[in-house]
Structure 1
Amino acid sequence: MRMPGRLDRRLAVAVLLGFAASGIALVAWQSQVSRVESDAQWQAQSLDLARYVVQRHAQRLADGAAARRPDTLADIGMYITLIHPSLEAYLVTAEGVIVSHTLPGPGPARARIDLAPVRALLAEHDVAAGARAVQLPVYGEDPRVAQGRNLVSVAPVGSDAWLYLILRGKQAAQVAAQGEGRVWQAAGVAVLTLALLLGVATTVAIQRQVTRRLRQLAAELARFRATDGAVPAQPMAGDEIDQLRADAQALQRRVEQQFRQLEDSDRQRRELISNISHDLHTPLANVRGWLDTLLISGERLSPQERERHLRTAARHCAGLGRRVAELFELASLDSARAVAHPETFCMADLLSDVVQAHQLGAKQAGIALGMSPQSDLGAVVVADVALIERVLNNLVDNALRHTARGGRVELTVCSQGETVVVRVADNGCGIAQADLPHVFERYWTTRHIGAASSDTAATPSHHRGVSAGLGLAIARRIVELHGGRISVVSSEQAGSEFSFWLPMRVQPV
């Protein structure tokens, strides 16, 4: 038989079966105790019956025993039946050989009985009431059956014979069996009812004390997996422990995945430190080189050469300052205290300001920079103007540095439902497909020649294609801080298009 699935139900069934088995055993024990007590009382009341019969028919019994006549009890059988219908009488020798009996039909099943178990009953006739020499009931062999014992009453007949009375004959045994069957039936119904009630009560108790906590733990694990972004586990067959085991295995897999992510993040962090050290070391070394040149060869240099050396050192110092500022800015955006100060403004106006700010550098590089004529000039958003301007500056500067002379960088703004979409597109070198998933990672670097770089500092031509991932990482963090999202679409040698979405609010008229 298959047990129910839930643990509380399985335990309840087990407890129910246990109660039923215990109840049946208790009823059997109680029935046995009651039967022994009843036999003891019956034997105590009927103990003198054999002596009474012997006293009434002493001579006839003595003569029959001495002559070994089988019909000795035939004349007094009716008398014995009148005393009690269940009595069965046997005249036996001192050795236990049956001489005569009152049984109808074929007679007894054995010709001799063992008198040793009942010899102690002879002493009962000489002991005062309440001070018995033996503990009743005392059972003797039943001659009517080949194997069996029954209540007896015995009395000596002369010196070499006994009158042996079976107190519970065949008729009494049949009546007792019927009564015992009814008792067992009633007791069985009572025990099963009690076991059912106790099983129900136990089910409730177990559910409240044991399985409730298991289900709570399983539910907490499921909620943790849901909040952690894991796919919810499919319901499985089994009880709460099986479900908890499945959730624990899923959690273990999730923890292992997170450990791998932490290891990867730690690797990227070490690479970031290495790259930042390189990026900081390079301008510092350049500044020191130009200054050392001025100190060593200052008198031999012309004023124009000294000015050029100083301007070059100043440019490297400015680049170093921008890189340090970016690191501080990214750390500030990642902190829990980073907040935006939103206000309503026209996105097209902000794009126009950014285009004007980069127009001179674009002309010097021979790149066409402007806004798309399809832009929505009336699109407004609720955002932090300074932070969104930082995003646009990073994207435009990134596009200009990776677009060749004669190329084009175009900015577009449009409305989509409750959001405003801004796109910065170029026809530069593009980004490799393998690098696209990583361009917004702050620790990511690429050595792919021609790949887009998120470094917003002026990067020497020999170092182009190597990035610490700060500019685009800052842009993504700012957009996410506003509840928006940012993405990129690109192909190698075909250009890139960066897009970000911000919530839109229409100004009241």
Structure 2
Amino acid sequence: MAWATLSRRLSAVFAVLLLVCSGASVWLQMRSSGIHEQEVIQRLSLGLAAHIAENSELMKPGGLNQEAVKDLFDKLMAVNPSVEVYLLGMDGSIKAQAAPPGHLKRDRVGLEPVRKLLSGAPLPIAGDDPRSLTASKVFSAAPLRMDGREAGYVYVVLQGEDHDALVANVATDNVLRTTLWSMGLVALLGLLAGLAAFRLITRPLRELTAAVKRFETEGIDSLEGEAPTLERLSRGSDEIAQLGQAFAQMTRRIAEQWRELTLQDQQRRELFANISHDLRTPLTSLHGYLETLLLKAGTLSDEERQRYLEIALGQSRKVGRLAQEVFELARLEYGVVKPEKENFALADLVQDVFQKFELAAEARRQRLRPDIASGLPVVSADLGMIERVLANLLDNAIRHTPEGGEIVVQLRAENGGVAVQVSDTGPGIPGELQKALFMRPVFMSGSRTDSASSGGLGLVIVKRILQLHDSDIRLVQQADRGAVFRFQLGGAAGA
């Protein structure tokens, strides 16, 4: 819902808080004003009860002089209608009063506030209102003496019923109206200032929200257009700037991942195309020779038939090898195969792999030479997978090195593990093919290889196996060598 934006919710919360604070301020101001008024009235009238108590006509030898008391009460309340005068006994009971019939609600007044007032406690002090069962009001009090001893108290309520009625009638007078109008104006101005401040504060957040929405609707193409906005929002150190920095970093990461996914998708398409090409050539050749054998079975000599069968068998082997590589790569790519690491000496594994390729190297009059440093640490890796890595690299080196060449496997201790380098004396790999060397089958012409002996998926499998071992393989340049491949395996823990 459009109303539920952050800025509008903040504005609504701010408005409610402002109104609550304004109301609380008005209530506190009116209450403090009332307390101040009570203190002023009580302080001004503090000696009123004592002045009344000094009137000697209030008492006579038999007790109170009721006529003098009534006459005095009538005169005082005529002069100041807001006061109510009472004479109390020593126990707080009301002995004399001038309240209209039915208005008196108490027959006794608590003496604790009276004692506090007479002892000089801080003002204002409220005492019981005889004309109410619950109300308390400021008062003036003084002891009443007869024959030199205390006979009771003069108790004067300073804000009586007439005062309350007058306050109720003028509750909407100019002073109160002015106070309410001023508080309302302050609240309105504060609300407008707060709304403007919230709009300015949340402006970067709204821009960031708009950028996110454009990214949601327009996709990855909108990120480049939002770069200046994200850069501007990332400046500063507040929370919104940090959010902008996080979103800018996220968009860069998404853009990089998108480019990587696009590249991987392109590479995957090229991989399928290359595999199809690599399969089509031997299959076409295989089909052609088999068809020739079928059509010309009666006219071919034994030597021709034998040669055709050997060629067909060779093409069949190549198709089988490529199919096996595709299957193996698929298992590595989708996590079917997990490395089962163990500790072993890499030098011993190199010697074992050399033995498997001795006959192939001798057939091409090539020399396999190990260059193994002494004191190599034990490595931790999957023995079968690393054997496959070395076998693929040596197979490529033997097939791509001319007769009389040399293939060297070098082992050196490095960073707690073993660095492996496989090099040959072949023509090397052209620069235009090096970038995608470990991503797809390599097809090269010339002395290195031809379409019949392409690089296949061997190097792609090698890279994936080493990635599972938290390692990587790279092609390095050496002036006196052909293709030089280097990777490293970590040492065994505690070795």
TM-score, scaled relative to structure 2:
0.52
Counterpart residue number, 1:487: 474
Counterpart residue number, 1:257: 256
Shift in Å at residue 274 of structure 1? 1.2
Q: 1:279 to 1:492 in 2, by over 3 A?
A: farther
Shift in Å at residue 344 of structure 1? 3.5
Asked whether the 8 Å contact 2:289–2:312 carries over to 1, the reply is yes
How many pairs were matched up?
Answer: 309
Counterpart residue number, 1:26: 26
Counterpart residue number, 2:379: 381
Q: 1:408 to 1:463 in 2, by over 3 A?
A: same
Counterparts of 2:172 and 2:397 in 1: how far apart (Å)? 114
Q: How does 1:309-324 map to 2 (within 5 A)?
A: 309-324=308-323
Asked whether the 8 Å contact 2:234–2:244 carries over to 1, the reply is no
Counterparts of 1:310 and 1:130 in 2: how far apart (Å)? 126
Structure 2 SS opposite 1:495? coil
Counterpart residue number, 1:332: 331
- CA-based RMSD of the aligned residues comes to 4.6
1:409 and 2:407 correspond: yes
1:474 and 2:461 correspond: yes
Question: Which residue identity lines up with residue 411 of structure 2 in the other structure?
Answer: V
Question: Which residue identity lines up with residue 257 of structure 2 in the other structure?
Answer: Q
Q: After the TM superposition, which parts of structure 1 deviate over 6 Å for at least 4 consecutive aligned residues? A: 14-17, 128-132
Q: 1:34 to 1:238 in 2, by over 3 A?
A: same
Q: 1:447 to 1:359 in 2, by over 3 A?
A: closer
Q: 1:310 to 1:492 in 2, by over 3 A?
A: farther
Shift in Å at residue 266 of structure 1? 1.4
Q: 1:492 to 1:403 in 2, by over 3 A?
A: farther
Question: Which residue identity lines up with residue 404 of structure 2 in the other structure?
Answer: G
CA offset digits 1:366-405 (Å, max 9, x no partner): 3222212x54386543333222111111001111222223
Asked whether the 8 Å contact 2:423–2:485 carries over to 1, the reply is yes
Counterpart residue number, 1:498: 485
Asked whether the 8 Å contact 2:445–2:451 carries over to 1, the reply is no
Alignment counterpart, residue 396 of structure 2, candidates 382, 395, 398: 398
Shift in Å at residue 351 of structure 1? 1.4
Shift in Å at residue 241 of structure 1? 2.5
Q: How does 1:457-472 map to 2 (within 5 A)?
A: 461-463=450-452, 467=455, 470-472=457-459
Shift in Å at residue 31 of structure 1? 7.9
Counterparts of 2:311 and 2:294 in 1: how far apart (Å)? 15
Question: Which residue identity lines up with residue 387 of structure 1 in the other structure?
Answer: M
Counterparts of 2:296 and 2:171 in 1: how far apart (Å)? 133
Q: 1:24 to 1:314 in 2, by over 3 A?
A: same
Counterpart residue number, 1:428: 426
Asked whether the 8 Å contact 1:430–1:451 carries over to 2, the reply is no
Q: 1:416 to 1:246 in 2, by over 3 A?
A: closer
Counterparts of 1:433 and 1:357 in 2: how far apart (Å)? 31
Q: 1:447 to 1:299 in 2, by over 3 A?
A: closer
Question: Which residue identity lines up with residue 384 of structure 2 in the other structure?
Answer: A
Q: 1:136 to 1:389 in 2, by over 3 A?
A: closer
Shift in Å at residue 327 of structure 1? 0.9
CA offset digits 1:9-49 (Å, max 9, x no partner): x99xx8999589727962697389969x99xx9xxxxxxxx
Shift in Å at residue 276 of structure 1? 0.9
Shift in Å at residue 312 of structure 1? 0.8
Q: 1:493 to 1:267 in 2, by over 3 A?
A: farther
Counterparts of 2:236 and 2:441 in 1: how far apart (Å)? 47
Counterparts of 2:494 and 2:21 in 1: how far apart (Å)? 80
- Please, which runs of 5 or more residues in structure 2 have no aligned partner? 1-6, 42-78, 81-161, 176-230
- Please, which runs of 5 or more residues in structure 1 have no aligned partner? 1-6, 42-82, 85-127, 140-148, 151-232, 453-458
Asked whether the 8 Å contact 2:354–2:368 carries over to 1, the reply is yes
Counterparts of 1:317 and 1:265 in 2: how far apart (Å)? 30
Shift in Å at residue 317 of structure 1? 0.6
Counterparts of 1:336 and 1:482 in 2: how far apart (Å)? 13
Asked whether the 8 Å contact 2:402–2:426 carries over to 1, the reply is yes
Structure 1 SS opposite 2:344? strand
Counterpart residue number, 1:75: none
Counterparts of 2:351 and 2:18 in 1: how far apart (Å)? 85
Q: How does 1:113-124 map to 2 (within 5 A)?
A: none
1:418 and 2:416 correspond: yes
CA offset digits 1:95-135 (Å, max 9, x no partner): xxxxxxxxxxxxxxxxxxxxxxxxxxxxxxxxx99999x95
Structure 2 SS opposite 1:415? strand
Question: Which residue identity lines up with residue 253 of structure 1 in the other structure?
Answer: R
Counterparts of 1:331 and 1:130 in 2: how far apart (Å)? 95
